[in-house]
Amino acid sequence: MKVSKFIFGLTAGIVGGLAVASLTAPQSGQQLRNTLKTNSTHLRERIADTRFEANNVKQSINEFTSVAKNNIPQIVNELKETLQRFQKEIEPSKQNLQQEISVLQQSIGEIEKNVSELKEKTQK
């Protein structure tokens, strides 16, 4: 939604509310004019404040978008580099673990073979 549409809707709501409240309240003509004048002054101030805040929000969003566009590629590159360094650092440990697993699997195979031979001897 565009800021101008939001401000227009907000203004229309405030004006409508003020008009209904002012016209339905039992007041004399002079009091009604004074009330309308005061309310219109407050309305202008609120509209100015709303525009100021909307511009601040818009500027903040633009700044955030700019920072994100500039920093996200850098962060992604740093993460890739860190991952590559980590993979290089763990490669020797990975190879050692694979060798140890291979030795353990051979040992398990020998143990299973010895156990089955022992069972055959005890059954005879």
- Say which amino acid occupies 66: S
Q: Please compute the mean of the pLDDT values over residues 61-88 and round it to a whole number.
A: 89
Q: Please compute the mean of the pLDDT values over residues 17-25 and round it to a whole number.
A: 72
Residue 22 confidence (pLDDT)? 66
Whole-model pTM above 0.75? no
Query: Is 51 in contact with 7 (CB distance < 8 Å)?
Result: yes
**Percentage above 90 pLDDT, the chain:** 16
Q: Please compute the mean of the pLDDT values over residues 94-101 and round it to a whole number.
A: 89
Residue 81 confidence (pLDDT)? 94
